[in-house]
Chain A
Amino acid sequence: MITVEKLKKIKKEQRPLLEKRLREIGNVDIKEDGSIVLNGDYYKKQLRIALKNCEIIDPNNIKEYIAVDGYFALADCLSNMSPKEIIEDIKESGLRGRGGAGFPTGKKWETAYSYDDDQKYMIANADEGDPGAFMDRSILENDPHSVLEGMIIGGYAVGADKGFIYVRAEYPLAVERLQIAIEQAKELGVLGNNILGTGFNFDIELRLGAGAFVCGEGTALIESIEGKRGMPRTKIYRTSHKGLWEKPTIINNVETYANVPVIFQKGVNWYKNIGTEKSPGTKVFALVGKVENAGLVEVPMGTTLREIVFDIGGGTQNGKKFKAVQTGGPSGGCIPADLIDTPVDFESLDEIGSIMGSGGMVVMDEDTCMVDIARYFLDFTVDESCGKCVPCREGTKRLLEMLERFVAGKGEEGDIERLERLSNTVTEASLCSLGKTAATPIVTTLKYFMDEYKAHIYDKKCPAGACQALVEYFITDDCIGCGACAKACPVDCISGEKKELHVIDQDRCIKCGACMEACPPKVSAVIKR
């Protein structure tokens, strides 16, 4: 049987081996207080809590997790704290759900704790589906034990002895590493029956999602685990009251669970002092898009978008002008350049019409068309709607059809009003958060980039030059008549004598842009307008 003493022994043995291995690789700094952080400018400006072990420990070796204080928080909770005390601590820490909605974790746990039932469940929502988001994936692949430890502590707190990790099947490595982690944790005695000799039992099973984005929605996820079609339920009761098989169920995001052990390791006060008053702690963002340094960024809540995009992300690529940043995945909003100093926390993002979401952050530059971006996200939502409620099933499709008309230059007078009205209906009348937030990319782009909509609809122009149907390729007087464009043109619509100005036949042009690419950079006579 494993005891705290044995854990300490494993740590003592493994720590030097870990440090030796890391020194050989040379990508970390080992600090005086024992913490290990990745070196390099990109990481220096970050504060990693959920990601603290990522790329540092070997995820397939439980001993390395123990070497960085893993499972000591669990041992402490089980032997020295009552469930009620744990819940009070989590409440006090101010930890809020990292899946997007930001619901206070302690409050959720307290609700499940308050219902006396013969069976309760813990679920880890690892059905990360936002395009370009890979926060949970990174934690699951690189530090699976932190999620297990968080879940076991939660299980002890609310009185659950069974946990499920609902992980998408498209993450095969995460699945494999979770399986190894569960096996090793059971073998060691920190998972399964009589954990650490305290008499507490907790088991974790994996459930693989079949690829539906909507299964990341709590009630749809529950339906899916129950073996039904993944469709959200109407919430008469909270899931912490009646969830999986009608039993009190806690669903927390992977990142939320990864925060839990650290809160107990380092103390509630330490945690509370990070971030903002209403949103303590850090948040992991997947910084992607047209940004110089794309990757995972973990910063204290309240860090401004500017610090994330420019200081850490290094700004836009190729010196292009920064235009907007989209937060919160397909349900999030586009934040314009003039709001770049907005602090990133639940309240501030909500105020400007966007959301935290699970942490997607897509950077856009001057070449990005905001109408087209709205169309792109709606295309995603239409595909991922489960089809249950009318506003989402039918409404998102009609929104997409309108946007498709705009980018094709077929917008009409009155369309903006129609788009606004339907966006409003879909937001207000849909059943689950997928539908309720589906129109956010439209609402925010309408709010901040109305000019672009007007340009598409009334002038039939795309100011960013991204919508193929609305751009014209044109050869300026700078043309040296080299003929490269004419050769590259797949439909032979460019004519002109050698060494003379060439002309594009606009009626036949398919707007593929091959001429622009073919034109020698020094000349750059082909322009898009």
Chain B
Amino acid sequence: MNIVINGIHYEVEKNTTILQACRKAGIDIPTLCHDDRLEPFASCRMCLVEIEGSNKLVTSCSTVVKDNMVVYTHSDKIIEARKDVLDLLVGNHPLECLSCDKSGQCKLQDYCYEYGIIESSYNGDRREPYVDTSNPFYDYDARKCILCGLCVRVCDELQCTSAIGFGNRGFDTVVTTPFNEGLINSKCVSCGNCVSVCPVGALTPKVQKYRHWESKEVQTTCSYCGVGCQLNLIVKGDKVVGAQPSKEGPNDGLLCVKGKFAYKFINHPDRIKTPLIKRNGKFEEASWDEAYRLIRRKINGIKEESGSEAFAGLTSARCTNEENYLFQKLFRAVIGTNNIDHCARL
């Protein structure tokens, strides 16, 4: 199919949306409510584009390309419409960027910068303040919420928990739990996928403060189970301060409560960082060489005395598949026993 975007011809596949076509062509279209993994919602109205021959503006996220369509993504009319939408959003959003955790990676802030919105031209009512801090891992602040619905739809369409939804109507709409009973009393499994997709600072993790520009992201494999979810640990200085799911992996941008929030053990003072050897009834720190020497001596001794069948090994779901493989290899080939098991079998 042929399509003309801003005067340049492109060839796109059938059933492509205008947004997909533009992204493929490297044309940046602003979106606040769009996520490739979700059904188009078309609520933020930032991705509006103009189509030649039609006097109506259409949302590029939900409009499928037609052959020989002529699209304008940054005409004066479109830019003005996007500015107005941002103006309306900012009119109901506290400009607390100076103290907001999300500053620096907030889409609303970025678009306001791009479209030159300094403050709202409306000085009217604001949404009633409403916060839900009942979940142990994250908070919701309705004042900052732009109601893009990403959290609600991720919870419903991808996490399949449907713990949250829209409450109230019109101007008073908020994201809430059934009967406003709070996240802690809802079906929420604290996976935090809502927090991961929130484009602004409405859903934020309850952890150490950091600013985007102070941190770096380190991609790693989640160590909690064998799925191999990819995640980016957010590191400030020498401390891990957060985790974001990566879209490059089997998890496709999702995590569970452990991957998303259970990283605090990394910097925990009780964490064992060196091998410990019990001497005179007390654990003492030792080097890896010392520890391996001790293990080898003990294994050889027990094997000579009682034979290979005196050994049994139990390994952990926290280990990777490769580590588990090597562990059973050690038991079968080196120690010489089949007494090997794994906690995940239970």
Chain A interface (Cβ within 8 Å of chain B)?
212, 229, 231, 234-236, 382-391, 393-398, 401, 418, 421-422, 425, 428-431
Please measure, in the bound complex, the distance between the C-alpha atom of A425 and the C-alpha atom of B88, giving whole angstroms: 10
For B147, the chain A residues whose CB sits under 8 A away are 387-388, 390, 393
A234 and B62 form a contact (CB under 8 A): yes
30 inter-chain pairs at a CB distance below 8 angstroms, sorted by A residue, are A212-B169, A231-B166, A234-B40, A234-B61, A236-B62, A236-B63, A382-B170, A386-B170, A387-B168, A387-B170, A387-B171, A387-B172, A388-B43, A390-B89, A390-B147, A391-B88, A394-B88, A396-B170, A397-B125, A397-B170, A398-B88, A398-B122, A401-B122, A422-B84, A425-B84, A429-B57, A429-B85, A430-B45, A431-B42, A431-B45
**Dominant SS among interface residues on chain B:** loop
Contact (A390, B43) CB under 8 Å given A397-B124, A429-B57: yes
B42 and A234 form a contact (CB under 8 A): yes
Near A by CB (< 8 A), chain B positions 40-89 give 40-45, 48, 56-57, 59, 61-64, 80-81, 84-85, 88-89
| Given A236-B63, A236-B64, A385-B171, 11 extra CB contacts under 8 A | A234-B40, A234-B61, A234-B62, A384-B169, A389-B45, A390-B45, A393-B170, A397-B124, A398-B91, A401-B124, A422-B84
A389 and B170 form a contact (CB under 8 A): no
B42 and A428 form a contact (CB under 8 A): no
For A236, the chain B residues whose CB sits under 8 A away are 40, 62-64
Shortest 9 CB-CB contacts between residues of A and residues of B = A387-B173, A234-B42, A385-B170, A394-B88, A425-B84, A234-B62, A401-B124, A397-B171, A429-B45
Please measure, in the bound complex, the distance between the C-alpha atom of A164 and the C-alpha atom of B122, giving whole angstroms: 43
Chain B interface (Cβ within 8 Å of chain A)?
40-45, 48, 56-57, 59, 61-64, 80-81, 84-85, 88-89, 91-92, 121-122, 124-125, 146-147, 149, 165-166, 168-173
Contact (A394, B62) CB under 8 Å given A387-B147, A387-B168, A429-B48: no
Closest residue of chain B to A236, judged by CB?
A: B62
For A389, the chain B residues whose CB sits under 8 A away are 42-45
A387 and B169 form a contact (CB under 8 A): yes
The smallest beta-carbon distance between B171 and chain A, in angstroms, is 5
For B81, the chain A residues whose CB sits under 8 A away are 425, 428-429
For B91, the chain A residues whose CB sits under 8 A away are 394, 398
The smallest beta-carbon distance between A94 and chain B, in angstroms, is 25
For B149, the chain A residues whose CB sits under 8 A away are 388
For B172, the chain A residues whose CB sits under 8 A away are 387
Please measure, in the bound complex, the distance between the C-alpha atom of A387 and the C-alpha atom of B142, giving whole angstroms: 14
Please measure, in the bound complex, the distance between the C-alpha atom of A421 and the C-alpha atom of B122, giving whole angstroms: 13
For A429, the chain B residues whose CB sits under 8 A away are 45, 48, 57, 81, 84-85
Closest residue of chain A to B146, judged by CB?
A: A390
Closest residue of chain B to A432, judged by CB?
A: B42
Most chain A beta-carbon contacts within 10 A, residue among B45, B122, B165: B45
Contact (A386, B169) CB under 8 Å given A394-B91, A398-B124: yes
B125 and A401 form a contact (CB under 8 A): yes
Please measure, in the bound complex, the distance between the C-alpha atom of A149 and the C-alpha atom of B57, giving whole angstroms: 39
For A396, the chain B residues whose CB sits under 8 A away are 170
For A430, the chain B residues whose CB sits under 8 A away are 45
Closest residue of chain A to B44, judged by CB?
A: A390
B43 and A425 form a contact (CB under 8 A): no
For B59, the chain A residues whose CB sits under 8 A away are 234, 431
For A229, the chain B residues whose CB sits under 8 A away are 165-166
For A431, the chain B residues whose CB sits under 8 A away are 42-43, 45, 59
The smallest beta-carbon distance between A512 and chain B, in angstroms, is 27
B45 and A393 form a contact (CB under 8 A): no
A383 and B170 form a contact (CB under 8 A): yes
Please measure, in the bound complex, the distance between the C-alpha atom of A261 and the C-alpha atom of B306, giving whole angstroms: 95
Our pick among A390, A394, A418 for the contact of B121 (Cβ within 8 Å) is A418
B124 and A390 form a contact (CB under 8 A): no
The smallest beta-carbon distance between A395 and chain B, in angstroms, is 6
B173 and A393 form a contact (CB under 8 A): yes
Please measure, in the bound complex, the distance between the C-alpha atom of A441 and the C-alpha atom of B48, giving whole angstroms: 25
Please measure, in the bound complex, the distance between the C-alpha atom of A384 and the C-alpha atom of B171, giving whole angstroms: 10
Closest residue of chain B to A431, judged by CB?
A: B42
Please measure, in the bound complex, the distance between the C-alpha atom of A382 and the C-alpha atom of B41, giving whole angstroms: 21
Closest residue of chain A to B40, judged by CB?
A: A234
A395 and B88 form a contact (CB under 8 A): yes
The smallest beta-carbon distance between A163 and chain B, in angstroms, is 26
The smallest beta-carbon distance between B147 and chain A, in angstroms, is 7
Closest residue of chain B to A386, judged by CB?
A: B169
For A391, the chain B residues whose CB sits under 8 A away are 45, 84-85, 88
For A384, the chain B residues whose CB sits under 8 A away are 169-170
Closest residue of chain A to B172, judged by CB?
A: A387
For A393, the chain B residues whose CB sits under 8 A away are 147, 170-171, 173
The smallest beta-carbon distance between A219 and chain B, in angstroms, is 11
For B124, the chain A residues whose CB sits under 8 A away are 397-398, 401
Please measure, in the bound complex, the distance between the C-alpha atom of A21 and the C-alpha atom of B67, giving whole angstroms: 64
Please measure, in the bound complex, the distance between the C-alpha atom of A81 and the C-alpha atom of B89, giving whole angstroms: 55
For B42, the chain A residues whose CB sits under 8 A away are 234, 389, 431
Please measure, in the bound complex, the distance between the C-alpha atom of A393 and the C-alpha atom of B170, giving whole angstroms: 5
Please measure, in the bound complex, the distance between the C-alpha atom of A357 and the C-alpha atom of B178, giving whole angstroms: 35
Please measure, in the bound complex, the distance between the C-alpha atom of A11 and the C-alpha atom of B121, giving whole angstroms: 68
For B45, the chain A residues whose CB sits under 8 A away are 389-391, 429-431
Please measure, in the bound complex, the distance between the C-alpha atom of A52 and the C-alpha atom of B19, giving whole angstroms: 50
The smallest beta-carbon distance between B343 and chain A, in angstroms, is 41
For B85, the chain A residues whose CB sits under 8 A away are 390-391, 425, 429
The smallest beta-carbon distance between A371 and chain B, in angstroms, is 18
Closest residue of chain B to A385, judged by CB?
A: B170
The smallest beta-carbon distance between A370 and chain B, in angstroms, is 22
Closest residue of chain B to A404, judged by CB?
A: B124
Please measure, in the bound complex, the distance between the C-alpha atom of A500 and the C-alpha atom of B91, giving whole angstroms: 55
Please measure, in the bound complex, the distance between the C-alpha atom of A390 and the C-alpha atom of B83, giving whole angstroms: 12
Closest residue of chain B to A228, judged by CB?
A: B165
Please measure, in the bound complex, the distance between the C-alpha atom of A430 and the C-alpha atom of B40, giving whole angstroms: 15
Please measure, in the bound complex, the distance between the C-alpha atom of A231 and the C-alpha atom of B41, giving whole angstroms: 11
B171 and A394 form a contact (CB under 8 A): yes
